[in-house]
Amino acid sequence: MKPAQFEYHAPTTLDEAIQLLEQYQGEARLLAGGQSLMPMMNFRIVTPAALVDLNRISGLDYIRSDNGMVHVGAMTRHRTVEFSPVVAERLPLLAEAIKLVAHLPIRSRGTMGGSLAHADPAAELPMVLQALEGEVVARGHAGERVIKAADLFEGLMTTSLAADEIIVEARFPAMPPGAGFAVEEYARRRGDFAIAAVAALIERDGERCVKARLATAGVGPMATRLGDAETILVAGGLGDTVIEQAAAKAAEIVSPLSDPHASADYRRHLTHVLTARALRRARSIH
């Protein structure tokens, strides 16, 4: 199929792009990598009045570390993140997760900001933003604001971004040295959308778990933190019995979806299995 008719704009500044979004009053869509948007337009799942192409705006493609934070420009391609020494050193959880994002051609074009703004529940990057307690910087007509991961995702492919706001940067706190981490994912084939995925990050003091972060992708309508399961780990440690208790709690608190790929019950089962597997692997990293 072909997309419905639309206007095309290629601004060269952020201010111009924001003005265009205001002009179309919510009827325009931003084009970054286009790896999700264009197929949706071809199937007429979305029919925007206009596309605002961000690829001619300079200064949105970078990765840098500063004062304990890793800053990733919104137009940074997945492939750049995959091979970044800064990401490998400071955010090994992201370095592991990015390799699971789709297939090579998609990683070569897809962008950090595009994935977060699209908010696909099966995408890995919203899950990682949650697990790392990251945030995004959004710019719109009213100026610039910082949105925490917990406040960004609101539902199925829905965020708290205003119609005239553009994500310009993602920020991640650098992981503490020695933190344990793992990403476990089940998909039909490597590179396909996750039917279920779990990201785990643990900080420990000897046998004690001082902080735990767990997040899912592919299970419910959006990437979700598993706070009650995290609490079990902090209270009880990282023994096998406690890990099983946390995994059972994770499966209990998710709100899984049913679709042609998997039933809600199967996704709940996968949440249990993948959480336990991720925690055991994270535990093994010292």
- The pLDDT of residue 171 is 98
SS3 state of residue 106: helix
> Which residues in 20-48 are b (16+ Cβ under 10 Å) and which e?
bbeebeeebbbbbbbbbbeebbeeeeeeb
Mean pLDDT of 83-89: 98
Identity at 131, one-letter amino acid code:
A
pLDDT digits (tens, 9 = 90+) for 101-158: 988 888 999 999 999 999 999 999 999 999 999 999 999 999 999 999 999 999 999 9
Distance from C-alpha of 155 to C-alpha of 159, rounded to nearest angstrom: 7
User: Which class would CATH give 63-173?
Assistant: alpha beta
φ and ψ at residue 31, rounded to 5 degrees: -110, 115
Average pLDDT over the chain reads 96
Enter the pTM of the model.
0.95
Q: Which one, of 43, 48, 61, lies nearest residue 9 by Cα? A: 48
What is the distance, to the nearest Å, from the Cα of residue 116 to the centroid of all Cα atoms in its chain?
5
Distance from C-alpha of 172 to C-alpha of 82, rounded to nearest angstrom: 15
Residue % of the chain over a pLDDT of 90: 90
Distance from C-alpha of 268 to C-alpha of 254, rounded to nearest angstrom: 7
CATH of 7-53, one of 3.40.1030.10, 3.30.43.10, 3.40.47.40, 3.30.300.90: 3.30.43.10
Residue range(s) of every CATH 3.30.390.50 domain in the chain: 180-283
Residue range(s) of every CATH 3.30.43.10 domain in the chain: 7-53
What distances in angstroms separate CA 122 from CA 222, 237, 275, one per listed residue? 8, 30, 16
Q: Which CATH architecture has domain 180-283?
A: 2-Layer Sandwich (3.30)
Mean pLDDT of 168-187: 97
N-to-C CA span, the chain: 51
